[in-house]
Chain A
Amino acid sequence: MQTLLRTPLYKRHAALGARLVPFAGWEMPVQYEGVIAEHRAVRTDAGVFDVSHMGELEVKGPRARELLQSLLSNDLDRIEPGKAQYTLLTNEQGGIVDDLIVYERGPDGFLLIVNASNREPDFDWLRERALPESEVRDVSDDYALLAVQGPKAVEQLELPGAPAFTFAPGKIDGVECVVNRTGYTGEDGVELLVAAKAAADLWDRVLERGVVPCGLGARDTLRLEVCYPLHGNDIGPDTDAISAGLGWVCSLDKDFTGATELRRIKETGPEQKLAAFVMDEPGIPRQGMAIAEGGEVTSGSHSPMLDRGIGLGYVPAELAQPGSDLTIDVRGRPRKASTVKKPIYKREES
Chain B
Amino acid sequence: MSTVAVAHAEAEQPWVLPSKGRVAMFCLIIAESAIFTIFVVAYVYNIGRSLYGPTPSQVLDIPLFNTVCLLSSSLTIWLAERAIEHGKVKVFGLWWALTWVLGAIFLVGTGVEWYKLIYHDGLTISTNLFGTTFYSLVGLHASHVILGLTALLIVLVFTITGHVREEHAERIQVLALYWHFVDAVWIIVFTVVYIIGR
Asked if A pairs with B, the answer is no
Residues of A participating in the B interface, judged by any CB pair closer than 8 Å: none
Residues of B participating in the A interface, judged by any CB pair closer than 8 Å: none
